[in-house]
Amino acid sequence: MTIHDVARHAGVGSMTVSRVIRGAGNVSAGMREKVEASVRVLNYQVNVAARATRSRSSAARVGILYSNPSASYLSEIMVGGLEQSSRLASHLMLERCEGLAGQKQAVKRLLAAGVDGVILPPPLCDSRQTINMLRAEGVTVLALATARPMIDVSSVRIDDFEGALAMTRHLIALGHRDIAFIKGDPQHTPTELRYEGFLAGMSEAGLTVRPDWVAQGLFTYRSGLAAAEKLFEARLRPSAIFASNDDMAAAALAVAHGRQIAVPRDLTICGFDDTAVATTVWPEVTTIHQPIAEMGRAAVRLIVDEIRARKTGGDPAPVHHLLPFTLMERDSSGPAPP
Amino acid sequence: MTIHDVARHAGVGSMTVSRVIRGAGNVSAGMREKVEASVRVLNYQVNVAARATRSRSSAARVGILYSNPSASYLSEIMVGGLEQSSRLASHLMLERCEGLAGQKQAVKRLLAAGVDGVILPPPLCDSRQTINMLRAEGVTVLALATARPMIDVSSVRIDDFEGALAMTRHLIALGHRDIAFIKGDPQHTPTELRYEGFLAGMSEAGLTVRPDWVAQGLFTYRSGLAAAEKLFEARLRPSAIFASNDDMAAAALAVAHGRQIAVPRDLTICGFDDTAVATTVWPEVTTIHQPIAEMGRAAVRLIVDEIRARKTGGDPAPVHHLLPFTLMERDSSGPAPP
DNA sequence: CTGAAAGCGCTTACAG
DNA sequence: CTGAAAGCGCTTACAG
């Protein structure tokens, strides 16, 4: 089943079929319809390999460079990324690195494989050093799920501030007024924004934030254990704990369980990110869902566009794409006790 | 940089270069060396797209059909699978499904995309129904990380019995004699094998298994909570708990934490699989690591071989590939208390 | 707006 | 064992 079979079936030239399937312009409506009908009838599918040989510019090679911490995102990124990549006839590569030395090696491997662009999930998305290393080799870079996009680097993300604000409003709507917060690692970009979103939500409801109800965490489970213990040692016990990621929310859940505090009857706990652990623990954690698959799709689309523009001599401006998040209401949250 | 550049550099014909890079026979040692040297000097890389156009048989399309529970494996599978896939110039697709209806739709989408073969991670790898559905459409199937391979379906896996045996021996070597076990979901294939491996390890050391130290779980965190609570209510407390997966080990850890039992000082806890949760919780869980990336690589290689054999009119026998596991000693295990 | 020709980089026959 | 020719299925110029 080739382009020529479709052309014969539709009674047009092969070039017209090529134009239609590529979505190129310069095709009359009548021709387009005939071709599209034939494509449907014959169940034609482009041969991406053949396409790639001829149109060098289409065969963009895109790498995803990740380090351990973001592994939980990875499969979801791949779901969207692979789909988009096969649609664009681009090639997707996965490369893992750890530490700075490992990073340099990984960049070398990617270059040897001929990458044109690299997508960086967290936390590498916020490493100026990594970005510069890649750019020095002429590689196009895109930051995925970063909280603070750099003005000169294309990004795909959700709004962390708005996410935290939405969660805080949700808790307040459930009747909670005594809300504690577990902050994330000060080194990571989402930390500040999520905390500010929380403060904004409290403030707009006229609620105060007690200093002993704010605990410092590091986004790890272990830090969540310590933070939760600290919160429970406060003079008054909050009716809800908003942890700024799911790992720490899961830890808070474990601590509550150990203290025989029933969740959500006596205490509401919620997180952020909707990673695997949120649905692993029990009760499952109410959290802010990042549309990671969608973000992977968008990332591949944007970076391939940018690569193509660059190959044809252009100097495309960075694109910043903001996607909507979703508040996932699960069993770890409930109305405030009377 | 093409095959012709290499040929010119080496002073041979392009066909000779093609033979060398493909690893085909019929090349004299002298020629081979000259070509290999030039490849190295010029840093030549095959253009997989071009290769794929000519050798039709290479352009195998492989789908990975997964359902939610195995999502934690997915990124690791992709790491190995993508690498192998790009080496073989095959195409990898990802498709998710939930429930039986979703499964039928997913199979339809995969067929529409023209898959030749489908890799099934757990738990779909053990669904005769799914396998038959795919086979009815002429699709080659491979079961990944199944515990009980079906005689007529190719598989890539580790030995669950040996894994559980190794962990049990490890605990015994640490001085533990009072070892409790949390079983998995009776519906899943690894459950029985892991339990048998545990029994074999205990038996060969002349240790008895107390009935009240064996708890039934379902592989979920929640079931692990209940199972651990039950174990702690036994008349005597074990010095080690071997949970048959990491989710349940994490739950046991949470229960121990709640009861102020120090891990690993007063209690050793270990799991199986080495999924993300094993390194999320604290202390990190000692567990049996499945080499998932390697398994992804092997799965793609085997299924592409099988697809090619079938395309050329052959009727290849199913292949069963067993990979070695690794015991990951982390902080949740330690010597038995005196 | 449409199509016949040339060529992408490789491999499959075919001939020596 | 070695290589010149033809062709994979598509797209990029080029001509109408």
A149: distance to nearest CA of chain B, Å?
Answer: 25
Nearest CB to A45 within list B114, B255, B257: B114
Cis peptide before B283 (omega within 30 of 0): yes
Q: C1' nearest to CA of B4: which nucleotide?
A: C9
* Distance of C1' in C3 from CA in A311, Å: 28
**Model confidence over B152-180: pLDDT tens digits?**
999 999 999 999 999 999 999 999 999 99
* pLDDT reported for residue B274: 92
Average predicted confidence (pLDDT) for chain A: 89
Distance of CA A202 to the CA centre of its chain: 27
- What domains are defined for chain B? 3-46 (1.10.260.40), 59-158+292-323 (3.40.50.2300), 160-289 (3.40.50.2300)
Residue A253 has what pLDDT? 95
Sequential DSSP letters for B88-110: TT-EEEEEE--HHHHHHHHHHHH
CB of A95 closer than 8 Å to CB of A109: yes
**Statement: residue B118 has pLDDT above 80:** yes
In percent, the amount of chain A with pLDDT more than 70 equals 94
Q: Is the CB of B41 under 7 A from strand C?
A: no
DSSP of A305-328: HHHHHHHTT--PPP-EEE---EEE
pLDDT above 90 for A219: yes
Q: Which residues of B92-107 are buried (b: 16+ CB within 10 A; e: fewer)?
A: bbbbbbeeeeebeebb
Q: What is the pLDDT of residue A118?
A: 94
Helix axes A71-87, A292-311, angle to 10 degrees: 50
What pLDDT shows up at residue A175? Answer: 97
Question: What is d(CA B86, CA B205) in angstroms, rounded to the nearest whole number?
Answer: 48
Which residue, among B324, B310, B314, has the nearest Cα to B141 in the 3D structure?
B310
Contact A74 B78 (CB under 8 A): yes
Task: Give the number of other CB atoms < 10 A from CB of residue B310.
Answer: 17
Grade residue A101 by pLDDT with cuts at 50, 70 and 90: confident
The burial of B257, by beta-carbon neighbours within 10 Å (0-12 exposed, 13-18 middle, 19 or more buried), is given as buried
CA angle B248, B252, B256 (to 5 degrees): 170
What does the pLDDT average to over B189-203? Answer: 97
Minimal Cβ distance to A86: which of B93, B220, B276:
B93
Quickly list H helices, chain A. 3-10, 14-22, 29-42, 48-54, 71-87, 99-112, 128-136, 160-173, 189-204, 221-232, 246-258, 276-280, 292-311
pLDDT digits (tens, 9 = 90+) for B279-312: 889 999 999 999 988 999 999 989 988 887 787 6
pLDDT of residue A57: 47
Q: Å between B29 CA and D5 C1'?
A: 26
pLDDT at A69: 55
Name the minimum distance, in Å, from the CA of B197 to any CA of chain A: 26
Q: Which residues contact A164 (CB under 8 A, 6 or more apart)?
A: A193, A194, A195, A196, A197, A198, A201, A242, A244, A272, A288
Contact B247, A280 (CB under 8 A): yes
The token pair at B290 is: 């499945």
pLDDT of residue B92: 81
Whether the predicted pLDDT of A241 surpasses 80: yes
- Summarize pLDDT for B316-332 with one digit per residue, the tens: 899 999 999 999 999 99
Contact between the CB of A7 and strand D at under 7 Å? no
Q: pLDDT at position A89, please? A: 63
pLDDT band at B89 (very low <50, low <70, confident <90, very high): low
Note the pLDDT tens digit of each residue in B32-84.
888 888 888 887 877 767 777 776 544 678 889 988 655 567 778 888 888 78
DSSP B87: H
- Per-residue confidence band for B218, with pLDDT thresholds at 50, 70 and 90: very high
Q: Is B135 left (phi over 0), alpha (psi -120 to 50) or beta?
A: alpha
B123: preceding bond cis by omega (within 30 degrees)? yes
Strand D, nucleotides covered by protein (CB < 7 Å) = 1-5, 7-13
Give nearest nucleotide to B55 (CA–C1').
C11
- Determine the average pLDDT of the residues in A13-26: 85
What φ, ψ does residue B286 adopt, rounded to 5°?
A: -70, 130
Confidence of residue A71 (pLDDT cuts 50, 70, 90): low
pLDDT, tens digit, for every residue of A42-54? 878 777 677 777 7
Please answer yes or no on whether A280 and B45 come within 8 Å at the CB atom.
Answer: no
Q: Is A247 in contact with B50 (Cβ distance < 8 A)?
A: no
Q: Is the CB of A259 under 7 A from strand D?
A: no
- Closest chain B residue to A92, measured at CA: B82
Q: Give pLDDT tens digits for A245-301.
A: 999 999 999 999 989 999 999 999 999 999 888 988 999 999 999 998 899 999 998
Task: Please name the member of A71, A94, A225 whose beta carbon is closest to the beta carbon of B82.
Answer: A94
**pLDDT for position B138:** 86
Q: Which of residues 6-35 of A touch strand C (CB under 7 A)?
A: 12-16, 19, 25-28, 30-31
Can you tell me the distance from the alpha carbon of A206 to that of A199, in angstroms, rounded to the nearest whole number?
10
Q: Return the residue of A nearest to B278 by Cα.
A: A277
Whether any strand C atom is under 7 angstroms from the Cβ of B4: the reply reads: yes
B221-232 and B246-258 helices cross at what angle (nearest 10)?
50
